Homo-oligomer: A and B are copies of this chain.
């Protein structure tokens, strides 16, 4: 389709951030993304739409076309287009423009607000700004969350069963007069209460209902300790694991400090394996 050399040039500008052109492209992209999100938000405010509706519509279209050009360029610039198209960012990039085109083709629908999915494009900020330190931090977060996944799933499953039962009990106690119009609404209220959100759109009015809600609240107050405990324990485990990988070849002691040159146990000189990394 296009000569290999221009493809490589394009790849350098779009996917890399080492050349001045690449840096400029990435920063410009970031600015356009932020503008596009703000535009979608402002368009939803009735008073602003009335006055600046036309300008916002034009801006929307300009941004959508820019994003479309960028999307096509990304496909062209990469050697294996499919791997980009099917990647996380590839799908988000597509969904950042598609709703606008669907809106013209099928006028009845109004998918424009789906464009707020563009917010996910902001995740690129980490790569663009070369915030390696932050990427490391976010990886540590993700690893810790991933490892506590099974426990968190069990915990959530138990909480949901609890909420179904407590919601039904509250429905039987309070009834439609207090706003507990049906069991799904009662379960909604139970979760609002258990998570300590407490909107107050529905509140118990019978003494028994208030007594049961007190129990639900205290449970919620205690239950919040469980995910916190899980994640904290996992974080600390990660920390220890990070300090943990080296062993003394002489006495086999482990848990050396990160910058240790000698074994703290036998005084043997530790080989600096990390030099090679």
A residues at B contact (CB < 8 Å): 37, 40-41, 44-46, 113-114, 116-117, 119-120, 122-123, 125-126, 133-134, 136-138, 140-141, 144-145, 150-159, 161, 164-165, 167-168, 171-172, 176, 181-185, 187-188, 191-193, 195-201, 203, 207, 210-211, 213-214, 217-218, 220-222, 224-237, 239, 247, 252-269, 272, 274-275
Q: Are B210 and A188 in contact (CB under 8 A)?
A: yes
Q: At the interface, is chain A mostly helix, strand, loop or mixed?
A: helix
- Whole-angstrom CA separation of A156 from B221 in the bound complex: 10
Q: Are B113 and A171 in contact (CB under 8 A)?
A: yes
- Chain B, Cβ-Cβ closest to A260: B264
Q: Are A235 and B230 in contact (CB under 8 A)?
A: yes
- Chain B, Cβ-Cβ closest to A158: B138
Check A252/B272 contact, CB under 8 A, given A183-B41, A192-B198. Answer: yes
Smallest beta-carbon distance A204→chain B, Å:
9
- Whole-angstrom CA separation of A230 from B238 in the bound complex: 11
Check A40/B183 contact, CB under 8 A, given A137-B150, A239-B237. Answer: yes
- Whole-angstrom CA separation of A253 from B261 in the bound complex: 10
Q: Are B137 and A46 in contact (CB under 8 A)?
A: no
Provide 18 A-B residue pairs closer than 8 Å at the C-beta atoms, listed in order of the A residue.
A41-B182, A41-B187, A116-B164, A117-B165, A123-B161, A138-B158, A141-B155, A184-B207, A184-B210, A185-B210, A191-B214, A191-B218, A197-B197, A200-B200, A252-B274, A259-B265, A260-B265, A262-B264
